[in-house]
Amino acid sequence: MSSSSRDQPRIRPRPLWAGVAVVIVGGCLLAVGLIASLTALWIAGIVVLAAGALLCLRGGIMYDAGAHTSPGREMHHVVTGGELEGVTPGERLDLPEARALVAADAARTVELYSEVPGPFVSPWLAVPSGWVMLMCSVSLIVSEWMLMGDSVNSQNNSYIETAGAIFLGLAGMRCLSPGVHPGAGLVSILTGVGIVLQAVFASEQSIGDHVVRYGTGGIAVLAGLAVLAAARSERSGARW
């Protein structure tokens, strides 16, 4: 036997798995002793746990058995009392085949990274439009609190404005993320048109309601158009 083989840690499946079984039994004894307040039983559980841990250490539980093991081979060694050659912590496989495999993996990794497009950078028009959408969302929410009446029609109008504020807020947050997002611009346009139509057809509106709805709706449409214009100018980086 060579010196390198003698230096390799040995794994003994029979005492290892016997130790695992003893540890399980010790844990059960400890749990039952603690639950039933039986001092002798939980002390015995601790002793059995310690004995099982020693058996596991003797079997080589702290070492890796390598990549050539299988359940059948493990069971064979348990029955026959055979040993497995372990792997020393920090050990490296220095073979020509291994070097070739690592080099191929590294080349493939570089190839995959080269195919990935670079990080998406938001154009100057998209981020301000996102902030505008968020401000429109906040304006709608604040106006409901300040201007909403007590009638049923006013409450129905408030529900519509709440939905519009949610859509504008989500579209604005999407525009603030890196990249160009024409889908967010389209959502802002449709939401703005809906708010303007509400201002046209809704009943029981005050002058303040008209100002808020026409203003936020029109601004939301303009912000959405700005995002679509930015997406058109940088179509290669557009993400919906």
pLDDT in tens, 123-155: 678 889 999 999 999 998 888 777 665 666 667
What residue segments make up the domains of the chain, in order of their start?
Answer: 3-85, 126-237
Is the model's pLDDT at 192 over the cut of 90? yes
Percent pLDDT > 90 in the chain is 32
Tokens of 217: 């709706």
Residue of 62, 49, 64, 46 lying closest to 19 (CA atoms): 49
Whole-angstrom Cα distance, residue 74 to residue 84? 9
Average confidence (pLDDT) over 189-206: 84
Q: In this predicted structure, what is the pLDDT of residue 150? A: 60
Full-model pTM: 0.48
Is the model's pLDDT at 68 over the cut of 80? no
77 close to 11: Cβ distance less than 8 angstroms:
no
Average confidence (pLDDT) over 150-173: 82
Percent pLDDT > 70 in the chain is 80
- In this prediction, residue 117 has a pLDDT band, given cuts at 50, 70 and 90, of low
240 close to 183: Cβ distance less than 8 angstroms:
yes
When the pLDDT of each residue in the chain is averaged and rounded to a whole number, the result is 81
Q: In this predicted structure, what is the pLDDT of residue 240? A: 47
Q: In this predicted structure, what is the pLDDT of residue 122? A: 59
